[in-house]
A and B are shown apart, each in its own frame.
Chain A
Amino acid sequence: MIIEFQNVEKTFADKKQNVHACRDINLTVEKGDIYGVVGYSGAGKSTLIRMVNALERPTSGTVTVNGVVISELQGQELVRARKDISMIFQQFNLLESRTVYENVAMPLVLNHTPKAQIREKVLQILQFVELSDKADVYPSKLSGGQKQRVGIARALATDPSILLCDEPTSALDPRTTDSILNLLMKVNRELDVTILLITHQIDIVRKICNKVAVMEGGYIVEQGDVKEVFAHPRRPITQAFVETVVEQTIPETILREAAARKGQSKAFKIRHIGGNICDTFLADLRSRFSADFQTLFISVNELQGSILTVIGLQVIGDAAQIDEVEEYLFEKYEYEEVEL
């Protein structure tokens, strides 16, 4: 593992009351992960990520990075450890008084790297983030997406093993967001950088993360593989998050029509992760069973190279016919009954 939180608590002592920003945090990020932490405003996400590079210190518990307890480092040791942990920000935090080139060069200047070497490195990174033509431009002339690219370039200058992202796309429009996400994936794959990312946009997690933790009131209430969590969100907050990107509500009109249908029937919501079952799903049921089927709803979603399909299905027939189908669904899919 590359980042590990063990029983971490963080309390801010305010004048009026103590704010428990992070409580009982246990979290492990493995090498190569793109780990997403999602939660609403005030959940404690920023506090959590800022403990990884010791911008905040835990009140109790330990944060270990690359085998070193970063939460206990001081002075020069901390300075050195931070060179391996880069960070990008929602507001980019670029130096307005310096050009793109100088911004990207800054971490190397701080390391007293020779000029020629800085030049080589900076030009190479600018090419990587596709900003070679903007080297001599000041940040005030860049778009938000370009600024974040500079932020990423600057973060990569010291060849870090970890990249921390605090709401990296929250200030960007959807299209720019996608291009930044693609860049982060490229950073993860081609440069072998482990990414810890916090966001309130669950869609970002769906698009690029392999692991996710959901935070609420300072606690991590759910964590695991993105596929697993998206397919089986347990907590209401997780369900609410997942619902915003994976449509799973059967339209009311369709439900009404279904309820009005003659004869005995039951409706189900079925979830499946894997290949494309759009065509085969119903054909399979029809070939096996004599009941009548009505598709109420289909939602098909990309999820880490798999497909998450949610299907609303009404089964019409006598009790025995319906039971038969339900038994089959039970064995083969994850499903729940829907009230009609």
Chain B
Amino acid sequence: MIEEYLRVPLSTITLAASQTLYMVGWSLVAGAVLGMLLAIVVVLTRPGGLHANRAVFFVVSTVVNVVRSVPFIILMVTIMPLTKIIVGTRVGTTAALVPLIVHVGPYLARLFENSMLEVDNGIIEAAQSMGATTPQVIWYFLIPEAKASLVLALTTGTIGLLGSTTMAGTIGGGGVGNLALTYGYERMNTPLMIVTVILLVALVQILQSIGDTISRRMRHLD
């Protein structure tokens, strides 16, 4: 029934969905870790930070900016040699993870950095006055106090990532975006196009409201 209407085998659809999930999932996890590390370095070393260090701050901050200013599709092509070294091939779903992580890491780093900068400086001072070490300041004060805002940042990052994975099709990454482009657009399968778009929109809505809800709960305001 569905197959007839969409003119694509169901297995193709589920494969595309699972490829998207795979790409978003892994690059989100790895990107979040990378982003958090970068964000922590930037927050600590920025002028007035706990370990202010102009050089480190400048370098990391610049790298983050540079990577962020390169459009994903260009980044993907540019770092192909790196991809080849890491995963052994330039194409495929797993190969797409490398540029996705390199792309989303710095993006999340900026968002995380902003979240952590929202934490009142007084909290950090309270932490220091208690004799907290730097790792303790980060783990017990900075991250928990920024938590609600970090969740929103992660939500934004996930949604952005979903968009980037659609471009991963160009290096054989597959996924829902690729499905819409190759079957829907190139073969002029309008129903498939429409359904994919609707599903993507719905997915984004769901992700956003999950993020909002969790974030709101974390603020303990009500």
Contact = CB atoms under 8 A, between A and B. Distances in A.
A complexed with B: yes
A95 B123 CA distance: 7
Contact of A106 (B128, B133, B140, B219): B140
Interface stretch (B13-21, B76-84, B141-149, B155-163): B141-149
Interface in B141-180: 141, 144-145, 147-148
B130 A107 contact: yes
A197 to B, nearest CB: 15
Contacts of B123: 93, 95
A138 to B, nearest CB: 4
A283 interface: no
Interface string B191-222: 00000000000000000000000000011110
Nearest to B143: A97
A314 B200 CA distance: 91
Contacts of A110: 130-133, 136, 140
A93 B122 contact: yes
B129 interface: yes
Which of B130, B145, B219, B221: most chain A CB closer than 10 A? B130
A55 B128 contact: yes
A140 B220 contact: yes
A6 interface: no
Contacts of A140: 219-221
A266 interface: no
Nearest to A141: B220
B147 A87 contact: no
B221 A82 contact: no
B143 to A, nearest CB: 9
Nearest to B146: A97
Interface in B107-145: 120, 122-123, 125-126, 128-133, 136, 140-141, 144-145
A80 B141 contact: no
A47 B163 CA distance: 50
B125 A55 contact: yes
A80 B131 CA distance: 6
Contacts of A319: none
Given A106-B140, A110-B136, A97 B218 contact: yes
Nearest to A81: B131
A63 interface: no
Using C-beta atoms within 8 Å of the partner chain, give the interface range for chain B.
20 to 34
Contacts of B132: 79, 110
Given A83-B131, A97-B218, A140-B220, A89 B141 contact: no
B129 A53 contact: yes
A272 interface: no
Using C-beta atoms within 8 Å of the partner chain, give the interface range for chain A.
20 to 34
A158 B141 CA distance: 18
Interface string A56-92: 0000000000000000000000111111011101010
Contacts of B148: 97
Contacts of B141: 95
A4 B145 CA distance: 35
B124 to A, nearest CB: 9
A240 interface: no
Nearest to B122: A93
A110 B140 CA distance: 8
B219 A82 contact: no
A122 to B, nearest CB: 14
A121 interface: no
A11 to B, nearest CB: 17
Interface in A247-266: none
A47 to B, nearest CB: 13
Contacts of A79: 131-133
Contacts of A93: 120, 122-123, 125-126
B221 to A, nearest CB: 6
B220 A89 contact: no
Nearest to B126: A93
Given A82-B128, A97-B148, A110-B136, 14 more contacts: A79-B133, A80-B131, A81-B131, A86-B130, A89-B126, A93-B123, A95-B141, A95-B144, A95-B145, A97-B220, A98-B144, A106-B140, A110-B131, A140-B220
Interface of B: 120, 122-123, 125-126, 128-133, 136, 140-141, 144-145, 147-148, 218-221
Interface of A: 53, 55, 78-83, 85-87, 89, 91, 93-98, 106-107, 109-110, 138, 140, 154, 158, 164
12 contacts: A53-B129, A81-B131, A82-B128, A83-B131, A95-B141, A95-B144, A95-B145, A96-B219, A106-B140, A107-B130, A109-B140, A110-B133
